[in-house]
Structure 1
Amino acid sequence: MMNPINQMEATILIADDHPDILDFIAEDLEDNYSVVKVSDGKEAFEYIRLHPVDLIVSDVMMPVMDGYQFCTAVKDNALYSHIPFIMLTAKNSLQSKIEGLEFGADAYIEKPFSPNFLQAQIASLLRNRKSIREYYNQPQSTSEEEESASHPKGDQQFLDRLNTLITENMSEQSLCVDMLAERMCMSRPTLYRKIKALSDLSPNELINITRLKKATQLLSDREYKVYEIANKLGFSTPSHFTRNFQKQFGISPKEFVYNLKKTAKIC
């Protein structure tokens, strides 16, 4: 039975067919997280189809759908592949650990385990997800290699496709969520959930920030004036572009260029 507990910032889904183990893990986590308990992989997968989840902790041996099948279903689906997955098992062989990781688990923990160790693994995976989100709030992009290394393969493919769509259409003022959802073959709510989970941004915010990141590159090249960049990136007016740039990065486009020139002189 699905049993939500608490209402903390991050939601942890626990899947295990042993009630005592479910309660043991939940009681240890519920002071810091919102916890959802389910008894098998099928029930767990049905839950994440309907509700946002930040991290999954799953046993391997379960009825109906085991942990390997559940992990595969999550990691092979572009809508949920971003969710960190911790696999628990009583098997302590190296081969079992390799199998767990091959099925896409982000971490593999052997039973019996220390609650503190589980807490540390959860915190580490959520911190990594946070660092991925923070990438989008930096004034200038990292290299493609660094960016790719930050995301699991399925998520990177989703983001690459999304970024290509935004980049190819960013000069159009009509670029919007509905167009992205149609091109990504997703409903508007589903696209919203996926983008929000990966970047902590709404689709409109992601469009705006992608445009502004491109603006920092164009300003760095110093080949275009501010009004030309505003037009190239689909902003209705130069003042609209300037307001958005200032709000995102804390300085105006002209101040950004001035700082670049100042830095170049020092170097």
Structure 2
Amino acid sequence: MRNNLLLILPDKKEQDLLLKRFISNYNLYIAGNWAEVLHLAETISIQLIICSVEVPGVNGWELCSQLKSALHLSHIPVILLTADDSFRSRIKNLESGADAFVNRPYPVSYLEALVSNLLANRAKITAHVACYPFKPIITAHAAGEDSFIKRLHDHIYNNVHNCSLNVPLLARLMNMSRAAFYRKIKTVTDLTPNDLINKVRLSRAAELLQSAEYKVNEVARMTGFHSQSSFAKTFIKTFKVTPTGYRRMKMKPKWQKKAAVSLFAENGH
């Protein structure tokens, strides 16, 4: 699937050049101000933004800062283009939260390689989160995403027992519109919000089954399933074993536990 790139370039000559070079590999969109950026970013899923610092009205630094401050847009990589190579400019590039900045004049081949690299890194982060949704992301520029994911985890985990936990409720808890929330989750985790909720329910259920403190029907109720049968069906689909079978697999046989206790005693503890 082709990535969607958003170009914010007031220089028509530069805009036409990049359109010509990127059109064969990406879906390209054009914006001229913050309102247009916001409209496009909230209408379609933008994977990367190339922005000139010299944007009329809200300049590129301010625009990037606003993007990185918006919870539903902060995951989008931003490349800033500038003709100012002063230390002041470099500091402002960093303070804006830009993922990369390129000084003019630049070889377009370099910009192409940078775009490709940032998108590849974005894909790696997404793949990591899809497998381990709530583990920290060990990479640069991921602090905002870790914060988002932690908040999301807390809301799901605290409501995992609630059968009514769904996308509209979770979006409200995250102070986001349903559409923006869906796009953000899909981009960051490569999962739909419903799939993510279900993944947390089953992960929590597996933890409770291993503890052996609760019956299967109690675990089903504690993780928000309407019935034990629906819980069992969903559990088998993911783990390829019944909840009861999973518990047996994860619990040590009594003779192993006794052997461990005996060994512990023989060692003088």
Shorter-chain TM range is 0.7 to 0.9
**Among candidates 174, 195, 200, match of residue 184 of structure 1:** 174
Shift of 1:10: 1.2
Partner of 1:14: 7
Partner of 1:155: 145
Q: Which has the larger radius of gyration?
A: 2
Please tell me the residue identity of whatever aligns with 1:109: V
**Among candidates 195, 202, 206, match of residue 192 of structure 2:** 202
Shift of 1:256: 5.6
Partner of 1:120: 113
**Among candidates 64, 70, 84, match of residue 77 of structure 1:** 70
Please tell me the residue identity of whatever aligns with 1:124: N
The gaps in structure 1 that reach 5 residues or longer are 1-7
Report if aligned partners of 1:42, 1:65 keep a CA contact under 8 Å in 2: no
Shift of 1:221: 4.8
The answer to whether 1:164 aligns with 2:154 is: yes
What are the within-5 Å matches in structure 2 for residues 244-259 of structure 1?
244-248=234-238
SS at match of 1:186: coil
SS at match of 1:82: coil
Query: Separation in 1 of the partners of 2:113 and 2:244?
Result: 45
Distance 1:54 1:225, change over 3 A: same
Partner of 1:234: 224
**Among candidates 106, 118, 132, match of residue 125 of structure 2:** 132
Report if aligned partners of 2:161, 2:222 keep a CA contact under 8 Å in 1: yes
Distance 1:159 1:141, change over 3 A: closer
Q: Spell out, residue by residue over 1:199-219, the C-alpha distance to the aligned partner (whole angstroms, 9 max, x if none).
A: 222221221112123334445
Shift of 1:15: 0.8
Query: Separation in 1 of the partners of 2:4 and 2:162?
Result: 37
Distance 1:154 1:238, change over 3 A: same
Shift of 1:253: 5.0
Please tell me the residue identity of whatever aligns with 2:102: I
Query: Separation in 2 of the partners of 1:236 and 1:125?
Result: 43
Shift of 1:63: 1.4
Partner of 2:50: 57
Shift of 1:247: 3.5
Q: Spell out, residue by residue over 1:107-146, the C-alpha distance to the aligned partner (whole angstroms, 9 max, x if none).
A: 11122223332222222222232233323442x6665xx3
Please tell me the residue identity of whatever aligns with 1:92: D
Please tell me the residue identity of whatever aligns with 2:205: A
Report if aligned partners of 1:12, 1:54 keep a CA contact under 8 Å in 2: yes
The gaps in structure 2 that reach 5 residues or longer are 257-269
The answer to whether 1:67 aligns with 2:57 is: no
Shift of 1:49: 3.7
Report if aligned partners of 1:192, 1:203 keep a CA contact under 8 Å in 2: yes
Distance 1:73 1:226, change over 3 A: same
TM, length-normalised to structure 2 = 0.79
Shift of 1:55: 0.8
Distance 1:27 1:220, change over 3 A: farther
TM, length-normalised to structure 1 = 0.80
Report if aligned partners of 1:177, 1:204 keep a CA contact under 8 Å in 2: yes
SS at match of 2:25: coil
Report if aligned partners of 2:42, 2:180 keep a CA contact under 8 Å in 1: no
Partner of 1:5: none
Partner of 2:96: 103
Distance 1:120 1:108, change over 3 A: same
Distance 1:245 1:33, change over 3 A: farther
